[in-house]
Amino acid sequence: MKKLIPILLVLALLFVGCSKADKTKKNEPTTIPTEPTVETEPIEETEPYVEPVIIQQDMAAVSLPVVEDTKTNADGKEIFTYKGQSMSMVLPDPDVASKIIIDFLTRQDSFRQSAESVKASAPADTEYPYFYQALYAPTRIDMNVLSLAGEVTNWSGGAHSNHTCIYANYDMVTGDPLTLGSVLAHANQAEVLGKLVVEAVAKMPAELGIWDEYATLITERFAGDVSYDGDWFFDHKGMSFSFAPYEIAPYASGVITVTIPYHELVGVIDDAYFPVEQDVSNGEMTAAMLSEATADDFTQIAEVIYEEDAPMMLLYTDSVVTDVTIKIDNQYTIFATTALTPGDAIMLQADLQNHTVAVHFHNAEKDFNRYLVMENDTVRLTEDLPQ
């Protein structure tokens, strides 16, 4: 028992020493070295780049190949030439396309009948051939509107040829021809529209010799029956109105045309006839012979047959291009579409050896004017005009 007591005393002394050491450590101030504070800009969280998905759009396209007819005398000399147009379309609704085509061809038939009288009057010994042509060019095409503007030109002897502007406007939803009254937001907006046209004419150059009474003439025109579909058309900038020679200016001034921008037409015309903004990208166009590309690779194809015996080629895009037109010999616009997307193609049949074929299109960067050229039975698009 005596041996146990000293051991317990030693343990007690050790416990007390440890307790004191702990208390001393707790009471001492703790110093933690700190680094100087540096202000930094917050890191902005950015979303990872995702390649845009190109979705094929419904195609709205019109083809206007030129139809030509000639008359010769007994010696084979040409004494009369007629030029008109046929039409084909690509639309989501084929019934709408059919209605538009039938109406257009009916208009062409009326021109053809007028041409027949000129043809019959052409003398067999005329030095210069008589001619009659009625040709349109698309000024706007989209899912809402198709507008065509053109001219009838004929000569049957005399000092000069005769010129008449012709227009055709269609509702692309119903296929019905558009009249001036049908595009107005309200019937009383005809007067407002007339005032806008008067203001636009007032800004025309003085050298045109606009007659002093032009405002009265224009006001009377818009105050009358507005059930006509001529003398006006839509384009990409706005709504345009034309005045024939002698209407508000001398013959030498030619056709006077003014355009009312779309932003001035808000509340004047129905919202349905404003253009819809198109998707854009940095698309490019490619040309290939039909033997080099397969038509089965495309789901929407617009046919443009300018010459039936000519080689067949395809035009298509790798992304989205808009406002695509094809012009022959810098004279006739034979094709137009609001946009081409991957999966769309234009099947063109034309002789590139005898004709200059220009292809215009637009992408997110700029407008492009290209030419189709044939080299070693291969077709391509080039920036240079073929020699």
Over residues 221-247, mean pLDDT = 90
**What percent of the chain is modeled with pLDDT above 90?**
60
DSSP string, 273-297: GSPPPPP-----EEEEETTTS-GGG
User: pLDDT grade, residue 7 (50/70/90)?
Assistant: very low
Token pair 């210069």 in the structure block, residue = 128
Calculate the average pLDDT of the chain: 85
Q: How far, in Å, are 21, 24, 27 from residue 16 at the CA level?
A: 9, 12, 17
Q: Give the CA dihedral 184, 185, 188, 190, nearest 10 degrees.
A: -30
CB 198 within 8 A of CB 221: no
User: pLDDT grade, residue 251 (50/70/90)?
Assistant: confident
pLDDT (tens digit per residue) in 190-217: 999 999 999 999 999 988 999 889 899 9
pLDDT of 6: 40
CB 349 within 8 A of CB 65: no
pLDDT of 46: 61
For CA atoms 318, 322, 324, 330, the dihedral sign is: negative
pLDDT of 294: 77
Q: How far, in Å, are 249, 264, 323 from residue 269 at the CA level?
A: 27, 10, 23
pLDDT of 39: 53
pLDDT of 182: 95
Total count of residues recorded for the chain? 387
Is 138 or 29 the better-scoring residue by pLDDT? 138
pLDDT (tens digit per residue) in 359-373: 999 888 888 999 999
Bridge-based pairing of strands 357-362 and 78-85 is: unpaired
Find all residues with CB under 8 Å of 375, minimum gap 6, and list them. none
Q: State the DSSP code for 56.
A: P
pLDDT (tens digit per residue) in 272-326: 999 987 777 778 899 999 888 777 889 999 999 999 889 999 999 988 899 999 9
Residues 61, 336: Cα–Cα separation, whole Å: 6
Task: Look at residue 146 and tell me whether its pLDDT is greater than 90.
Answer: yes
Task: Look at residue 136 and tell me whether its pLDDT is greater than 60.
Answer: yes
pLDDT (tens digit per residue) in 148-158: 999 999 999 88
Task: Look at residue 51 and tell me whether its pLDDT is greater than 70.
Answer: no
Task: Look at residue 23 and tell me whether its pLDDT is greater than 60.
Answer: no
Is 362 or 7 the better-scoring residue by pLDDT? 362
Bridge-based pairing of strands 312-317 and 61-63 is: unpaired
Q: What's the pTM?
A: 0.81
pLDDT of 52: 53
pLDDT of 96: 97
The burial of 149, by beta-carbon neighbours within 10 Å (0-12 exposed, 13-18 middle, 19 or more buried), is given as buried
With left for phi above 0 and alpha for psi between -120 and 50, is residue 18 left, alpha or beta?
alpha
Tokens of 151: 């001219």
Over residues 337-356, mean pLDDT = 92
Find all residues with CB under 8 Å of 48, minimum gap 6, and list them. none
Over residues 258-274, mean pLDDT = 96
Task: Look at residue 345 and tell me whether its pLDDT is greater than 60.
Answer: yes
pLDDT (tens digit per residue) in 75-89: 999 999 999 999 999
**What percent of the chain is modeled with pLDDT above 70?**
85
Task: Look at residue 30 and tell me whether its pLDDT is greater than 70.
Answer: no
DSSP string, 70-115: EEE-TTS-EEEEEEEE--EEE-S-HHHHHHHHHHHHHHHHHHHHHH
pLDDT of 272: 95
Can you list the domains of the chain with their CATH numbers?
55-178 (3.30.565.40), 179-276 (3.90.640.20), 285-382 (no CATH)
pLDDT of 348: 95
pLDDT of 225: 87
Task: Look at residue 29 and tell me whether its pLDDT is greater than 60.
Answer: no
Angle between helices 189-202 and 214-223 (to 10 degrees): 160
Is 36 or 298 the better-scoring residue by pLDDT? 298
**CA angle in degrees (0–180, nearest 5) for 155-160-165:** 70
pLDDT of 2: 39
pLDDT (tens digit per residue) in 86-131: 999 999 999 999 999 999 999 999 999 999 999 999 999 999 999 9
